[in-house]
Structure 1
């Protein structure tokens, strides 16, 4: 047997005395929309999907990326919530007839914070252009940033052509990409995400209400989302809601009416909360196991994960979760912190629910000449009996 083989050394049921009973779950709701998806925020698992990778016009869902980019610029110190933005002719509200706007005028000095509220709560196309010009000098320069961020986030089927989402040649995204984006907004720019829960905003003595009707739904704890509509896109809605420790993200695109997009989103969220659960399987930077290192200054090494690990599965299956750990053995020094040295897989019955690489939690430098020589001899002798179970980790 090759000494660099992968070695299975643990297969532990979290509750070995319990067998996984067959669970009967209703089919997901059938929705009247061009595409939709339901994602768990913690695990990133897709619970429900219909045409989730279809290329569709995003309409004002585009403003999710506009707000994300501005949030990252604030985080990086290139602008601030209090920065004053001088409104240009290009951003003037009269240039957007028959579309949503904040009603800013050329020469107005508006803070980034107010423009973000105009963008998110009022869905202002004018606010989108003003923010774009503030961040990048021109809207086209800002669009380049939007597309760079889309690529960085793994939104591989998305292309933006403007900061507001009005229809045009080449603009497209998918329900799955929009779920990825909403997840990153919640995770990366939480102060921006808080604005999505605001129900109203007043500018120029005009009070406008958030178009996400689910914010008023007492049956769900929806704390954010974004609507979109154009004649090409239809009616769309991205929403996020919590129940206990669980958070879900729903995306409905291309519904035939405002009421349909709301009802479809409600059905998705209710289905996910009722029939699924999400548990934390591992904690970042905690030791998952201690393994043997050969020819090193230290003989033992703690291994674990560089991020929290979550899994989403049918409600009621948590007692049947099993874990299997694989170590790539034998492990020879030097080992650098962050090196991948194995893998852990969790499953329920025959279904894999999560799989994550195991990484070294510290460095192990090469040992002395004597230590390396001694371990070489020991490994040679062990290789002669390599069929023995548990050989390499002892």
Structure 2
């Protein structure tokens, strides 16, 4: 049962009453555009965010995310060496193979260097070599990609290969799901995200003849142009056009953008830069809760405690147009409850739903303040007795 708990707006003590604020306009020739403010959960722009589309190389974000999960679980050492199979090299070298890390046949490459080759160089060869190193075959790895997509709640995406190469519609995503995938990398794996995303260039491989080192620049169109830009991934095929999933953080406020369906490399640069600048400049935030602040409580079923505190895992704000006041928001905690024990400390168990006077809804997660174990025998017996007697 979905439960909602209304919170007293005056508890924020931060916002002056005013007329509802209108969203500032933004227009783009991109077929798809989406902008999310992680500080508040606010969708600042939604243009076809739930329309399925081919991701092109933006699919490599999921390849990277699978690796990040395994690394942080201790199942995949960064130092593990992977072999470039002759068959894989044959398929993914030369002009017909698209972006490349310039791997060599039978070369031994560490997971760490393959990840740089995927994230910074968009190497199709690196993506497949890593997939085969992790799962044995690219097909088996695609199964891991889809399982993780389901776990992360990416409800409208499917992956058929490790690098986003066109596959007659088997691989598809939405802008909303790409933003969710970017958010997962940023929030679930902050150290790995910082280590691999946002690098300006990477050097791997040798030129034919002279044998000089090959250094390639990161294709990220906002890197070095937007302060705080540090990710994520471009994509381009004839079918998909030019796209980009990007992120930047300024003064503790992080935005994630997705733009797709543009008709040129230069358009991707200009539209990505304009959208991110608009997100930071045309909107402002006001704090609601500091990181780790208690927001409320949720009921727990058959637990060692009858309730669990709900806290903000990070600072929570509201987002509204710059230069305008906003009326008092309506705050509500929503969760599927009563929650069932056991509950781990820090587990996401609820949402803070903020409704602004203009009807705009912003949602951010809340987590358990402490662990709650399952109730012992006597606790379960007493709970069952209270339920029978109508006391629960």
- Taking structure 1 as the reference length, the TM-score comes to 0.77
- The alpha-carbon distance between structure 1 residues 89 and 284, as it changes in their structure 2 partners (threshold 3 A), is same
- Aligned with 2:104: secondary structure? coil
1:105 to 1:150, Cα distance in 2 relative to 1, 3 A: same
Q: Which runs of 5+ in 2 are unaligned?
A: 206-212, 380-384
Alignment of 1:281 onto 2:288: yes
- Relative to structure 1, the CA distance from residue 354 to residue 76 in structure 2 (aligned partners, 3 Å threshold; closer, same or farther) is closer
2:54 and 2:264 map into 1 onto residues whose CA distance is 16
**One of 40, 46, 51 as aligned partner of 1:49:** 46
The 1:132–1:15 alpha-carbon spacing in structure 2 relative to 1, beyond 3 Å, is same
Q: Quick check: 261-270 or 8-17, which moved more?
A: 8-17
Q: How far apart, CA to CA, are the structure 2 residues paired with 1:290 and 1:164?
A: 43
Aligned counterparts of 2:351 and 2:34: Cα–Cα separation in 1 = 29
- Cα distance in 2 for residues equivalent to 1:229 and 1:342: 37
Q: Is the 8 A contact 1:338 1:360 kept in 2?
A: no
SS in 1 for 2:280: helix
2:24, 2:326 → 1: CA distance? Answer: 19
d(CA) in 1 for partners of 2:155 and 2:86? 34
Bigger shift: residues 100-109 or 279-288: 279-288
Shift of 1:17: 9.0
Q: After the TM superposition, which of the residue ranges 125-134 and 342-351 deviates more from structure 2?
A: 342-351
Q: Aligned residue for 2:316?
A: 310
User: What is the count of residue pairs matched by the alignment?
Assistant: 364
Q: Secondary structure at the match of 1:178?
A: helix
Per-residue CA distance 1:352-378 (angstroms, 9 max, x = gap): 4448789796689989xxxxx9xxxxx
Aligned CA distance change for structure 1 residues 302 and 82 (closer, same or farther; 3 Å): closer
Aligned to 2:76: 79
Deviation at 1:156, TM superposition (A): 1.3
Q: 1:347 to 1:92 in 2, by over 3 A?
A: same
Structure ID, larger Rg: 1
Shift of 1:213: 2.7
Q: Does 1:250 align with 2:257?
A: yes
- Corresponding residue of 2:105: 106
Shift of 1:32: 1.4
Residue 21 of structure 2 is aligned with which of 7, 20, 23? 23
Check conservation: 1:233, 1:254, Cα contact below 8 A: yes
TM-score, normalising length from structure 2? Answer: 0.78
Whole-angstrom distance in 1 between the partners of 2:176 and 2:297: 38
1:233-244 equivalences under 5 Å are: 233-244=240-251
Q: Structure 2 matches for 1:81-160, cutoff 5 A?
A: 81-92=78-89, 95-98=92-95, 99-160=98-159
1:36 Cα offset (Å) = 1.5
- Change in CA separation of 1:60 and 1:310 when aligned onto 2, cut-off 3 Å: same
> How many Å separate the matches in 2 of 1:7 and 1:158?
30
The gaps in structure 1 that reach 5 residues or longer are 1-5, 368-372, 374-378, 381-394
For the pair 1:178 / 2:184, whether they are aligned, the reply is no
1:93–1:268 Cα change, 3 Å: farther
1:324 CA displacement = 5.9
Aligned-residue RMSD, C-alpha: 4.2
